[in-house]
Structure 1
Amino acid sequence: MLDHSHIPETGHFLWIDKPGASFTIDVHVGKGGIASAAALAHRKAKTGKSFAINGTFFYAGRLLGDVLTLAGHLHLTSEPKARKRFGFAITLFDQPTIYERALLPEAPRELEASYRATYHAALGGLGRLLAGGKNVADAATLKDTSGQFFLDDAIRKTSRPALGIDKSGRLLVFVATEKETPAHKGMRPAEMADAMQARGVTDAVFLDGGGSTSLAVNGKVLVKGGNDSSIPCWVIGYG
């Protein structure tokens, strides 16, 4: 149901069978850090299997990506660049998917209706890493000349989480790490795409990274972000 492995100087790989069906995937909005998110996920786990990672981008506590939780809470960001991003969602048919924000309606009321009519849970990410089995990280990550923030995230080596799906519908949670040794500086999005592609992932998106990168597995914190307590959004899973 959840299989975890760690490769030194690369990161953590979590394979999840039947995400959304027999293994619940949700988005949690709330501060308290990775330990709090991990505890929440683990309390809900009937089999003792759970995980938590940091979620969408934020600034000064403000979410910069759309968020839909299983409980029905919907946050629509006012960040204009969010329309250029990609996201991860669990459909109403309990299938994981990567979606393109630009293909959804722009008007808030129509956008809300679209989210609720299509997804159980959804989370805005940033760049697409894989599409149809092809590495599209260099082409699809945002290189917005008016916003250096996006350019930096598209090219720099750092720690960051990503969510990917293989042909059978399994979910791969990949958390690229950094500073495991003095020379270890993390991975670029294109390198993450290569690592996920080599493991059979066909579609993937990366999330907020750098100092936000956090991971807990089965209630145990394995990666703690430097600004952990200020992170307002988490992806949690439990079975």
Structure 2
Amino acid sequence: MAGLEGLPGFGRWGASLDVLVGHPGPLWIYGEAGCGLTTLGAFLARGRGAAFQDDAEGLGPEALAAWIQAHPSGVLASHLAPEDPAVARAASHCLPFRLPSLEDEEDDLDRCFWIMAKEEGVSGPLPPLLTALPCPGNLRGLRNRLVRWKLLGQLPEDAAPRLPLADSEDLAANLHVLERLLLHRALRRSYGNRVEAAKRLGVSRRHLYLLIARHGDPVRGEAPTAEGPKRLLRGQNSCIPDPHR
């Protein structure tokens, strides 16, 4: 992972580092997967001479509260916002700081990319698709693109997503395709974290599992286990294109 200067939006929030280091209480650093949480959290912990807990939500509510009590000036990194019910009680004692993603800081993508390229020993000119949005996985995904190009000459498929709409204007069939596209994109960007994927999609966890049953999970390699909605079963299935063709 790049240093702090290689994180999205560093030019905007970098001036806050002294405030964060000097804050006497615990810090809750949060953001999307792959945006540099570990890099920032470890830096702040070193600067404060304090303990660092990565993936803080994995501790569970009671253990999380106990950790904060034992490390009153500690730094915690999480993919969950402090108001998320799973962590809200413990995180309410922390000063929150949200680390932006590449999509939040679109104008910063080129700068982050060229810092990585220098680290990897790659020089330009390079194909524009390497720095195109969307970039699932944030900085981690961006580095994966760069390494694939460096080693294999492969361009990223995720940078130019195609929506394989049905040949007809059938609304039900095309909505089914769009539903699958958004579900799979949310799962990939969440690195298989279904709680985060449901939050991205704005649906309940129960609804998310219904969608996964209908469309599968590309991250875990799970195939669909249920038929589509009834509106598609009236001779419409032939209209739905195969996304793997």
Query: TM range, normalised to the smaller chain?
Result: under 0.3
Task: Tell which has more relative contact order, 1 or 2 (C-alpha 8 A, sep 6+).
Answer: 1
Which has more strand, going by share of residues? 1
* TM-score, normalising length: structure 1: 0.23
Which has more helix, going by share of residues? 2
